[in-house]
Amino acid sequence: AQSVTQPDIHITVSEGASLELRCNYSYGATPYLFWYVQSPGQGLQLLLKYFSGDTLVQGIKGFEAEFKRSQSSFNLRKPSVHWSDAAEYFCAVGAETSYDKVIFGPGTSLSVIP
Amino acid sequence: DAGVIQSPRHEVTEMGQEVTLRCKPISGHNSLFWYRQTMMRGLELLIYFNNNVPIDDSGMPEDRFSAKMPNASFSTLKIQPSEPRDSAVYFCASSLFTGELFFGEGSRLTVL
């Protein structure tokens, strides 16, 4: 069965600093991997996705993520954080063979210090 | 384009009452998901449909929960009878491609 872990419950960074959010997954085959962001009181929004090919994927809002099969990881990065990036971030794993079933990690809450 | 539309946005009810949450997916999407979000348990997949057919309902907590998708443009999640531990935000999401979910704004349920 698919599963996702996000080791960091909460992270605080200063505006302008770099960011890396960790994600580890468990899945027998090649997974489909995603990062979503949730602002307070809102639904989740897709930031980026990895299906195959280049292991470094670019997303919206200046985010990128790197798939590392050997480490079963899919970490999210941003070189310079803006105050508006404060939100909850969810890593997710899916597989085409399971009729689009997508499982989300527990989330990492990001606070940004001005 | 209209996104996923959920109603009601907020629902306050008393224990034992029936609750019905509604969802209109994005037109043309073929998969629909119901998730529940709580502080303690995070985001849980309750059930999902593909082409209006329930594929996996293993996340539905118990028999008090039921979900239907009578056509491609409408789905309901029903709780009967409701209990205080059902208090949560319930999200509906739809997709056309694997994993690319579009979420509604959620229905916040409070059971007193």
d(CA B25, CA B33): 9
Tens of pLDDT, residues A21-33: 999 998 877 788 9
- Position A41 scores a pLDDT of 85
Retrieve residue A34's tokens: 């995603």
Nearest to A92 among B50, B99, B102 (CB): B99
Smallest CA–CA distance from A107 into chain B, residue: B42
E strands, B30-106, in order: 31-38, 42-50, 53-56, 65-71, 74-79, 88-95, 102-103
A25-29, A84-88, B47-51: range with lowest mean pLDDT: A25-29
B-contacting residues in A 78-107 (Cβ below 8 Å): 90, 92, 94-96, 98-107
Residue A96: pLDDT band (50, 70, 90) is low
Contacts of B95 in chain A (CB under 8 A): 100
* Residues B27, B96 contacting (CB under 8 angstroms): no
Among A46, A47, A60, A101, which would you mutate to test the B interface (most chain B Cβ atoms within 10 Å of its Cβ)? Answer: A101
Q: Are residues B48 and A101, on separate chains, in Cβ contact within 8 Å?
A: yes
Across the interface, whether the CB atoms of A95 and B98 are under 8 A apart is answered: yes
**What is the share, in percent, of chain A residues with pLDDT greater than 90?**
72
Q: Is A106 left (phi over 0), alpha (psi -120 to 50) or beta?
A: alpha
pLDDT tens column, B82-108: 999 999 999 999 998 777 899 999 999
Pairing of strands A32-38, B74-79: unpaired
Confidence check: pLDDT of B52 > 80: yes
| Chain A contact present for B25, CB below 8 A | no
Q: How far apart are CA A10 and CA A101, in angstroms?
A: 26
> Is the CB of B70 inside 8 Å of chain A's CB atoms?
no
Q: pLDDT at position A27, please?
A: 80
**Residue B88, burial from CB neighbour count under 10 angstroms (0-12, 13-18, 19+):** buried
